[in-house]
């Protein structure tokens, strides 16, 4: 059986405590994962601190950038291994993992190397009475050891999205991938080893949240900052732990995102867009639209078209060409999503399509498959309209005016993303900026230049990452202020 070990201070570390890594497509155990204990996390943090105090923390930007390029190259050289591990851990279709997860995993290292190389440093001149002035300039330094805790839905992409800028800024990292998806994170540690990253700069520990590696990281006094992607509830727990050491946090949390479809939109593009926004990655993307609002004149036609496309999704073996939707991540997550399907009906929803578990008559019946589902008829206050379900499901409802659509879309504790479909330039630029979210799309979804800010409003997150925003989170900025006296002779 394949073994996923911890990577600490440049060495592979075994643990007596192991847990199974399960393929969600058929429920088979595919690897044994070595759970890090507190002493291992301590050792990882200590080696990280030594690395930042040593050559890595003081390395010139060009040297660190060159290392990040080598990491990207090595991920690409081992593309098939990464692809295989990501598909086995998540059950996501090959078509998705090969075009999104793995290429972005490599790209994150190149992008942040480039951003760091070209990032300007601020300087200001303060004029003083009598001709003297003060020159202020900012220098960027590493924070120390950054704790990176990531989820299972886009394992390599979301891990590297944080590891790359942290390393670019000269920090060391102690990373913990989700217990559901340890595969590509372990391969990433192999890559770090192969390219010769100094020991201690990148550490990988496996385990769970409470009373395991996750908690050991967030409560560790030697961790300088915590960056986390996951559920809003977990974010609260981590925030409490981080409060003790007044640690900087960056949180990318859950969403209950709205999609607004106006009658003046390009109908077919909007249908295709909302099918993607609702069902991509089996609805397990924080940016997915679970609340779809459609202007009344096209409502019936839109719901019919959306349901037809949902029924056309191919729930096939993840490695087969033509498969467009995989299983959910785990048996537990499927129980949760199915409970929401039932709750929606108790709350008065009509089932437009789906709602159950497909039967295949083959090994997939041992996996965690679920039908893509469309609900209708719920009031905005229903629990299924307010809580993140995180499955292949959306609720559709009609609206009559632009103001109503904006108000209802914004009526959420979450505030991660929104997508607006309209043919009117005026309306697009009125409605998109009015969304109380971190990211508002117009006639598109899940599209973004990596230099732009990413994050959420409300309980969807704290802070922004992406481009220079990431550099600011992962560095300590020191403002140097130099008083310069006036000199008669130069006047």
CA 186 to chain centre: 18
Which is nearer to ligand NAD, 65 or 85 (by Cβ)?
Answer: 85
Which is nearer to ligand NAD, 159 or 375 (by Cβ)?
Answer: 159
Q: How far is the CB of 241 from ligand NAD (least distance, A)?
A: 7
Partners of residue 292 on adjacent β-strands: 259, 396
- Of 74, 86, 179, 252, the active-site residue reads 252
Reference 179, options 66, 21, 394; nearest CA is 21
Query: How far is residue 169 from each of residues 72, 112, 173, 239, measured CA to CA in Å?
Result: 16, 9, 11, 23
Q: What is the dihedral of CA 228, 231, 233, 239, to 10 degrees?
A: 10
Q: How far is the CB of 307 from ligand NAD (least distance, A)?
A: 25
The structure tokens listed for 326 are 């995989």
Instruction: Give the C-alpha separation, 227 to 251, whole Å.
Output: 6
* Axis-axis angle for helices 79-90, 61-77 (nearest 10): 70
- CB atoms under 10 Å from CB of 342, counted, come to 11
Tell me which DSSP letter residue 490 carries.
Answer: G
**Length of the chain, in residues:** 491
Which H or E run includes 137? Answer: strand 133-142
Query: How far is residue 103 from each of residues 106, 116, 277, 283, 448, measured CA to CA in Å?
Result: 5, 20, 20, 21, 15
Q: How far is the CB of 252 from ligand NAD (least distance, A)?
A: 3
* Axis-axis angle for helices 102-118, 61-77 (nearest 10): 170
Instruction: Give the C-alpha separation, 129 to 133, whole Å.
Output: 8
Which is nearer to ligand NAD, 210 or 361 (by Cβ)?
Answer: 210
Q: How far is the CB of 255 from ligand NAD (least distance, A)?
A: 5
Q: How far is the CB of 295 from ligand NAD (least distance, A)?
A: 27
Which is nearer to ligand NAD, 56 or 368 (by Cβ)?
Answer: 368
Per the annotation, the verdict on 265 as an active-site residue is: no
- Of 286, 288, 384, 394, the active-site residue reads 286
Which is nearer to ligand NAD, 125 or 236 (by Cβ)?
Answer: 236
Which is nearer to ligand NAD, 273 or 456 (by Cβ)?
Answer: 456
Q: How far is the CB of 4 from ligand NAD (least distance, A)?
A: 14
Which is nearer to ligand NAD, 214 or 355 (by Cβ)?
Answer: 214
Q: How far is the CB of 182 from ligand NAD (least distance, A)?
A: 10
Query: How far is residue 390 from each of residues 104, 121, 303, measured CA to CA in Å?
Result: 22, 40, 20
Q: How far is the CB of 212 from ligand NAD (least distance, A)?
A: 7
Instruction: Give the C-alpha separation, 129 to 356, whole Å.
Output: 76
Which is nearer to ligand NAD, 91 or 456 (by Cβ)?
Answer: 456
Q: How far is the CB of 286 from ligand NAD (least distance, A)?
A: 3
Task: For residue 84, give every residue at least 6 positions away whose Cβ sits within 8 Å of its Cβ, in sequence order, or none.
Answer: none
Which is nearer to ligand NAD, 237 or 351 (by Cβ)?
Answer: 237
Number of H helices, E strands in the chain: 17, 23
Q: What are phi and psi of 44, to 5 degrees?
A: -65, -45
* Axis-axis angle for helices 155-168, 61-77 (nearest 10): 160
Q: What is the 3-state secondary structure (H, E, C) of 336-399?
A: HHHHHHHHHHHCCCEEEECCCCCCCCCHHHHCCCCCCEEEECCCCCCHHHHCCCCCCEEEEEEE
Chain residue whose CB lies nearest ligand NAD = 209
Residues forming the site for ligand NAD (CB under 6 A): 149-153, 158, 176, 178-179, 208-210, 214-215, 218, 229-231, 234, 237-238, 252-255, 286, 388, 390, 416, 456, 461
By annotation, the residues acting in catalysis are 252, 286
């Amino acid at each position: 059986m394949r073994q996923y070990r911890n990577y600490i201070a440049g060495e592979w570390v075994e643990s007596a405590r192991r847990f199974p890594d399960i393929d969600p497509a058929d429920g088979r155990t595919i690897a044994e994962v070595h759970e890090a204990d507190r002493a291992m996390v301590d050792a990882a943090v200590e080696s990280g601190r030594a690395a930042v105090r040593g050559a890595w923390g003081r390395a010139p930007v060009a040297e660190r950038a060159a290392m990040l390029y080598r990491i990207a190259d090595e991920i690409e050289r081992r593309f098939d291994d990464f692809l295989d591990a990501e598909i086995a851990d998540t059950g996501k279709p090959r078509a998705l993992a090969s075009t999104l997860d793995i290429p972005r995993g490599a790209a994150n290292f190149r992008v942040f190397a480039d951003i760091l190389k070209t990032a300007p440093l601020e300087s200001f001149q303060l004029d003083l009475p009598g001709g003297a002035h003060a020159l202020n300039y900012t220098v960027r330094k590493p924070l120390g050891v950054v704790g990176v805790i990531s989820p299972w839905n886009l394992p390599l992409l979301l891990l590297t999205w944080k590891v790359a800028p942290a390393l670019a800024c000269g920090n060391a990292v102690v990373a913990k991938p989700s217990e559901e998806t340890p595969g590509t994170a372990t391969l990433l540690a192999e890559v770090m080893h192969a390219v010769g990253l100094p020991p201690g700069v990148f550490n990988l520990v496996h385990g769970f949240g409470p009373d395991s590696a996750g908690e050991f990281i967030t409560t560790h006094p030697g961790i300088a900052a915590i960056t986390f992607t996951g559920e809003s509830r977990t974010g609260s727990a981590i925030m409490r732990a981080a409060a003790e050491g007044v640690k900087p946090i960056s949180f990318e949390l859950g969403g209950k995102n709205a999609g607004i479809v106006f009658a003046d939109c390009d109908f077919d593009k909007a249908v295709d867009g909302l099918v993607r926004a609702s069902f991509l990655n089996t609805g397990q993307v924080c940016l997915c639209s679970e609340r779809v609002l459609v202007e009344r004149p096209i409502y019936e036609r839109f719901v019919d078209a959306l349901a037809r496309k949902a029924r056309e999704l191919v729930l096939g073996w993840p490695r087969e060409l033509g498969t467009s939707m995989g299983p959910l991540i785990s048996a537990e997550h499927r129980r949760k999503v199915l409970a929401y399907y039932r709750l929606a009906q108790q709350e008065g929803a009509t089932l437009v399509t789906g709602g159950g578990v497909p039967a295949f008559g083959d090994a997939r019946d041992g996996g965690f498959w679920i039908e893509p589902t469309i609900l209708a008829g719920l009031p905005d206050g229903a629990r299924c309209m307010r809580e993140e379900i995180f499955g292949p499901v959306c609720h559709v409802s009609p609206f009559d005016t632009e103001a109503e659509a904006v108000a209802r879309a914004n009526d959420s504790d979450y505030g991660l993303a929104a997508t607006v479909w309209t043919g009117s330039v005026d309306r697009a630029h009125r409605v998109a900026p009015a969304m109380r979210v971190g990211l508002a799309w117009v006639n598109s979804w899940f599209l973004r230049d990596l230099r732009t800010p990413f994050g959420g409003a409300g309980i969807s997150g704290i802070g922004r990452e992406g481009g220079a925003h990431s550099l600011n989170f992962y560095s300590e900025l020191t403002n140097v202020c130099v008083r310069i006296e006036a000199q008669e002779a130069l006047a």
